[in-house]
C-alpha cells in the first residue's frame, strides 16, 4: 500500500500521544505477562518455506520484478554467467570466480520449484559449471596459494582474494542447487569446494604467524584479505548442515575465531563484513556458543549507535560513517541480518530496522529494471543525510542479492511458535504487508492471510488479517507494534478487541475463522540522526539534524544541491503535532524517475 503525505490531514491531531492503559486482567493480559517472562526460544519457531508464501501488493510486485530481472540482458545467457569460471569473454570482475555464477545459481535455485526453474538457463548452467572445477576444489585461475598475498593491484587486477570471494558465493549456489533439484553433481562439487577450505584456505589464510601479511592494506577494498577470505564461512556451515560432516563445522569455527581479530568498525567492505556476521549467526545456531551471537549483536549495536547505519535504514558500500555510495548487496545483507538476529533473540527492534530498510533504502536502491545497484550518498562527519543520484545497476552482484533479501523476508512475515507449556500456540504477525503464509504447528495446518486496506487520517497503515486452521482451535495472535506507531487497534466483527502489549507485540486471543481489522495509529515524528525520538521544537526555536517519519516512511525533499543540510520550517497544530510540509514526499510518492535523483532526508528544523 502506497502511503502518500496527502493522506495525512489535520484530524491526526486528535490522536492520543500516549499508549492506552492496559485493560483489566484477562486471558490475553495474563498471556502477555507470561510471554514477557518466558525466554525467546528459536527452537519453538515454525517458519513457512519462502516459496510457499504468497507475496502480494506493492512489495510482492517489487519482488517479482527483481526475479524477472534474472531473465533479461545481459544476465539471460549462459556464456555471460559462466565467464567467471571459464573465461569465455572479457567482462567485468572475471577474476571473482563464482561471484556472478554462484549468486545466479543460488537465488535462481532457491526461488525455483523442483519442476519449474526460475530461469530457463539455470539447469544448463548448473550442469556445465561443475566441469570447470580445479583439482584442489576451487574454481578460477590456477594459483600458487603459498605465495604472498597480492593486494597491491586494483579490484580488477587482483587475483587470489577475488577468487576466494567468488568461491564463497559459488559454494552457496551449488548447495542451493542440490537442495532444490537434488543435483548430485552440484553436491559433489560443493563438497569439494568445502574440502578446499578445510585443506588449504584455513591453513594458509588463518595462520597466526602471517599476521603482517594479512594486515597489509589492500589497494582494492573489494579485493582485501578480510573481505574475501572469511566470506567462505557461510558455505562451510551450509556444508555441515547438509552433509553432517563435522570437519566443515570445525573449519568454520576456526575461521570465525580467527576472524575476530579483524572484526572491527570501520572496515572497507560492508557486504563482506555483514555476510561474515550472517555466518556467525548460523554458527551460533549450530553450536549454541553464545559468543558468536554476542559478536553480531555488539557489532549491530555499534553500527546503529555510531552512524554506520543511516536514517534511511541503509549502510554504505564502505562500512564507514562518511560514505560516498550505497550498494544493493549491503542493503540486502542488512535486511537479512536484522531478520536473523530477531530469529534468535526475539526483540522487535530488529524487525523495526528491517522494515525501515524495506520501505526506504531498499526501494531507493532498486532500479526500474527490477535490479539493484549503487547510488551516491551525501554525507558529513555524522553520516549520510541525503540520497544522491543513482549511477550503476550492478548486474554483477546486487541484482542477485536484492531478490535474495526479498526471498528471505517472506519467511518472517508471519511466524508460528509452539508453546510447550500450553495447548495454545502463538502466531507472530511481524509485518503489516500483503501475503498468505501457511504454517504447521504440532502437525496442524494454519494459514494467515494479510491484506492492506485504505489508510485514514489516524492510521497510515491498516490491514485485515484472516486466520484459518484446525476447526475450533484457539491461538494467540501477536501483532508487532512498530517503533513508528503509537499503538495498534484491533477489531473483530466491528467490535474492539482487547490487546495488551508485551515485548513489542499486541496480543489477541484469536481463533480459527477470525478476521481481524488492524489499524496502526501514528502521527508524524521527529528523530535525531541516531534513531532517537525527539520532541518537536517550540515555536520560534530550531533543532539541527532532524529526520521526519510518518509511518514506516522517511519524509524527504527533492534537492538540486545536497552539498549541505537544508533548513526546513514546520508547523505544529494546537496539540503540538507536526504538520507535514507540502515540500516533503515519501519514497512511495516518488515516480521511478524521481527515485533516480537526489533527495535530502535530514533537515535543520525550525517551528512556527
The pLDDT tens digits of the residues spanning 390-439 come to 999 999 999 999 999 999 999 999 999 999 888 899 999 999 999 999 99
pLDDT band at residue 27 using 50, 70 and 90 as cut-offs: low
In angstroms, rounded to a whole number, what is the distance separating the alpha carbons of residues 273 and 303?
11
In angstroms, rounded to a whole number, what is the distance separating the alpha carbons of residues 594 and 387?
11
pLDDT given for residue 154 in this prediction: 73
Residue span of the structural domain in which 283 resides: 264-410
pLDDT higher than threshold 90 for residue 94: no
- Between CA 564 and CA 569, with CA 567 as vertex, the angle to 5 degrees is 165
pLDDT given for residue 590 in this prediction: 97
For residue 6, is it within any domain?
no
The pLDDT tens digits of the residues spanning 184-227 come to 999 999 999 999 999 999 999 999 999 999 998 887 788 899 99
In angstroms, rounded to a whole number, what is the distance separating the alpha carbons of residues 207 and 254?
10
pLDDT given for residue 16 in this prediction: 33
For residue 272, is it within any domain?
yes
For residue 275, is it within any domain?
yes
Strand partners, 109: none
For residue 4, is it within any domain?
no
For residue 13, is it within any domain?
no
Are residues 319 and 211 both part of a single domain?
Answer: no
pLDDT given for residue 451 in this prediction: 98
In angstroms, rounded to a whole number, what is the distance separating the alpha carbons of residues 343 and 337?
10
The pLDDT tens digits of the residues spanning 305-364 come to 999 999 999 999 999 999 999 999 999 999 999 999 999 999 999 999 999 999 999 999
- In terms of C-beta distances under 8 Å and separation of at least 24 residues, what long-range contacts does 86-90 make, across chains too? 86/132
Cell match 549503487: residue? 374
Are residues 175 and 231 both part of a single domain?
Answer: yes
Domain boundary among 361, 383, 410: 410
C-alpha dihedral (339, 341, 344, 349), degrees to nearest 10: -80
Are residues 257 and 276 both part of a single domain?
Answer: no
Neighbours of 74 (CB within 10 A): 11
Contact 600, 388 (CB under 8 A): no
The pLDDT tens digits of the residues spanning 349-394 come to 999 999 999 999 999 999 999 999 999 999 999 999 999 999 999 9
pLDDT given for residue 93 in this prediction: 84
The pLDDT tens digits of the residues spanning 515-542 come to 999 999 999 999 999 999 999 888 889 9
H-helix or E-strand spanning residue 567: strand 567-572
Q: In Å, how far are 66, 97, 371, 395, 439 from 72, measured between CA atoms?
A: 11, 22, 10, 10, 34
Domain boundary among 410, 437, 466: 410
Domain boundary among 382, 410, 438: 410
Q: How many residues does the chain have?
A: 608
H-helix or E-strand spanning residue 225: helix 225-228
Are residues 137 and 151 both part of a single domain?
Answer: yes
pLDDT given for residue 36 in this prediction: 55
Are residues 464 and 504 both part of a single domain?
Answer: yes
Q: In Å, how far are 83, 94, 267 from 90, measured between CA atoms?
A: 8, 7, 30
Are residues 31 and 74 both part of a single domain?
Answer: no
List of E strands, 288-424: 373-380, 383-393, 414-417
Q: How far is CA 254 from the centre of its chain?
A: 27
Are residues 373 and 439 both part of a single domain?
Answer: no
The pLDDT tens digits of the residues spanning 535-587 come to 988 888 999 999 999 999 999 999 888 889 999 999 999 888 999 999 999 99
pLDDT given for residue 560 in this prediction: 81
H-helix or E-strand spanning residue 571: strand 567-572
The two beta strands, 425-429 and 474-480, are: parallel
In angstroms, rounded to a whole number, what is the distance separating the alpha carbons of residues 451 and 221?
44
Neighbours of 375 (CB within 10 A): 23
- With both helix axes pointing from N to C terminus, report the angle between 78-86 and 122-129 in degrees, rounded to the nearest 10: 20
Cis? peptide before 212, omega within 30° of 0: no
The pLDDT tens digits of the residues spanning 149-161 come to 888 777 777 899 9
pLDDT given for residue 153 in this prediction: 72
Tell me what percent of the residues of the chain surpass a pLDDT of 70.
94
The pLDDT tens digits of the residues spanning 443-470 come to 999 999 999 999 998 999 999 999 999 9
In angstroms, rounded to a whole number, what is the distance separating the alpha carbons of residues 33 and 12?
31
In angstroms, rounded to a whole number, what is the distance separating the alpha carbons of residues 193 and 354?
32
Taking only Cα atoms into account, the Rg of the chain, rounded to an integer number of angstroms, comes to 24
pLDDT given for residue 540 in this prediction: 85
The reported pTM is 0.94
Are residues 511 and 530 both part of a single domain?
Answer: no
pLDDT given for residue 423 in this prediction: 84
Are residues 237 and 115 both part of a single domain?
Answer: yes
For residue 3, is it within any domain?
no
pLDDT given for residue 503 in this prediction: 94
Closest C-alpha to 590, from 402, 359, 355, 354: 359
pLDDT higher than threshold 70 for residue 6: no
pLDDT given for residue 130 in this prediction: 98
In angstroms, rounded to a whole number, what is the distance separating the alpha carbons of residues 534 and 607?
14
For residue 12, is it within any domain?
no
Are residues 485 and 369 both part of a single domain?
Answer: no
Q: How far is CA 395 from the centre of its chain?
A: 19
* 3-state secondary structure at position 299: helix
Are residues 529 and 511 both part of a single domain?
Answer: no
Are residues 120 and 184 both part of a single domain?
Answer: yes
Q: How far is CA 97 from the centre of its chain?
A: 25
Task: Please give the average per-residue pLDDT across 486-498, as a whole number.
Answer: 96
For residue 175, is it within any domain?
yes
Residue 451: burial class (beta carbons within 10 Å; 0-12, 13-18, 19+): middle
Domain count, the chain: 4
pLDDT given for residue 3 in this prediction: 38
In angstroms, rounded to a whole number, what is the distance separating the alpha carbons of residues 75 and 72?
6
pLDDT higher than threshold 90 for residue 39: no
Closest C-alpha to 243, from 194, 281, 201: 194
Q: What is the mean pLDDT of the chain?
A: 92
Neighbours of 185 (CB within 10 A): 15
Task: Please give the average per-residue pLDDT across 589-604, as a whole number.
Answer: 96
List of E strands, 178-270: none
pLDDT band at residue 9 using 50, 70 and 90 as cut-offs: very low
Residue 333: burial class (beta carbons within 10 Å; 0-12, 13-18, 19+): buried
The grid coordinates listed for 260 are 575476530
Amino acid at each position: 500500500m502506497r502511503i502518500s503525505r496527502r493522506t495525512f490531514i489535520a484530524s491526526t491531531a486528535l490522536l492520543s500521544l500516549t499508549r492506552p492503559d492496559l485493560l483489566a486482567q484477562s486471558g490475553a493480559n495474563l498471556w502477555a505477562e507470561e510471554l514477557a517472562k518466558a525466554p525467546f526460544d528459536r527452537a519453538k519457531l515454525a517458519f513457512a518455506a519462502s516459496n510457499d508464501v504468497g507475496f502480494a501488493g506493492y512489495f510482492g510486485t517489487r519482488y517479482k520484478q527483481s526475479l524477472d530481472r534474472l531473465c533479461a540482458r545481459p544476465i539471460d545467457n549462459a556464456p555471460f554467467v559462466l565467464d567467471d569460471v571459464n573465461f569465455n569473454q572479457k567482462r567485468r570482475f572475471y577474476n571473482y570466480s563464482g561471484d556472478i555464477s554462484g549468486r545466479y545459481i543460488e537465488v535462481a535455485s532457491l526461488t525455483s520449484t523442483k519442476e519449474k526453474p526460475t530461469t530457463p538457463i539455470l539447469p544448463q548452467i548448473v550442469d556445465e559449471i561443475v566441469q570447470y572445477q580445479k583439482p584442489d576444489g576451487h574454481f578460477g585461475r590456477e594459483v600458487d596459494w603459498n605465495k604472498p598475498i597480492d593486494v597491491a593491484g586494483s579490484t580488477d587486477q587482483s587475483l587470489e582474494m577475488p577468487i576466494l570471494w567468488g568461491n564463497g558465493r559459488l559454494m552457496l549456489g551449488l548447495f542451493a542447487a542440490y537442495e532444490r533439484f537434488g543435483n548430485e553433481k552440484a553436491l559433489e562439487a560443493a563438497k569439494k569446494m568445502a574440502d578446499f577450505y578445510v585443506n588449504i584456505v584455513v591453513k594458509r589464510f588463518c595462520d597466526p604467524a602471517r599476521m603482517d601479511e594479512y594486515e597489509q592494506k589492500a589497494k582494492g577494498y573489494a579485493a582485501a584479505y578480510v573481505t574475501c577470505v572469511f566470506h567462505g564461512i557461510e558455505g562451510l556451515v551450509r556444508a555441515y548442515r547438509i552433509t553432517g560432516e563435522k570437519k566443515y563445522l570445525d573449519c568454520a569455527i576456526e575461521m570465525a575465531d580467527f576472524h575476530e581479530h579483524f572484526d572491527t568498525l570501520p572496515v572497507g567492505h560492508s557486504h563482506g563484513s555483514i555476510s561474515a556476521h550472517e555466518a556467525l549467526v548460523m554458527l551460533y545456531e549450530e553450536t549454541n556458543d553464545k559468543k558468536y551471537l554476542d559478536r553480531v549483536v555488539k557489532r549491530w549495536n555499534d553500527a546503529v549507535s555510531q552512524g554506520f547505519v543511516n536514517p534511511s535504514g541503509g549502510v554504505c558500500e564502505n562500512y564507514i560513517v562518511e560514505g560516498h555510495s550505497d550498494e544493493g548487496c549491503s542493503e540486502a545483507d542488512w535486511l537479512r541480518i536484522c531478520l536473523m538476529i530477531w530469529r534468535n533473540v526475539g526483540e522487535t527492534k530488529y524487525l523495526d530496522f528491517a522494515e525501515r530498510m524495506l520501505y526506504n533504502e531498499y526501494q531507493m536502491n532498486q532500479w526500474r529494471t527490477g535490479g539493484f545497484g549503487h547510488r551516491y550518498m551525501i554525507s558529513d562527519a555524522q553520516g549520510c543525510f541525503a540520497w544522491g543520484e543513482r549511477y550503476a545497476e550492478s548486474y554483477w552482484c546486487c541484482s542477485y542479492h536484492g531478490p535474495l533479501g526479498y526471498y528471505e523476508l517472506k519467511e518472517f512475515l508471519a511466524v508460528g511458535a509452539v508453546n510447550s507449556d500450553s495447548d495454545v500456540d502463538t502466531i507472530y504477525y511481524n509485518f503489516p504487508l500483503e501475503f498468505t503464509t501457511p504454517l504447521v504447528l504440532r502437525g496442524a495446518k494454519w494459514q494467515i492471510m494479510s491484506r492492506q486496506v485504505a489508510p485514514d487520517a489516524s492510521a497510515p497503515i491498516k490491514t485485515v488479517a484472516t486466520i484459518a486452521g484446525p476447526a475450533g482451535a484457539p491461538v494467540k495472535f501477536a501483532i508487532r507494534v512498530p517503533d513508528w506507531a503509537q499503538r495498534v487497534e484491533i477489531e473483530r466483527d466491528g467490535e474492539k478487541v482487547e490487546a495488551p502489549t508485551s515485548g513489542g507485540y499486541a496480543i489477541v486471543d484469536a481463533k480459527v475463522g477470525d478476521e481481524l481489522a488492524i489499524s496502526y495509529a501514528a502521527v508524524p515524528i521527529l528523530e535525531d540522526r541516531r534513531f532517537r525520538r525527539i520532541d518537536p521544537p517550540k515555536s520560534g526555536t530550531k533543532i539541527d539534524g532532524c529526520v521526519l517519519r510518518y509511518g514506516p516512511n522517511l519524509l524527504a525533499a527533492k534537492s538540486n544541491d545536497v552539498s549541505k543540510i537544508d533548513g526546513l520550517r514546520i508547523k505544529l497544530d494546537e496539540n503540538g503535532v507536526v504538520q507535514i510540509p507540502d515540500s516533503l514526499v515519501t519514497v512511495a510518492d516518488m515516480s521511478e524517475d524521481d527515485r533516480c535523483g537526489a533527495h535530502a532526508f535530514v533537515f535543520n528544523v525550525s517551528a512556527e
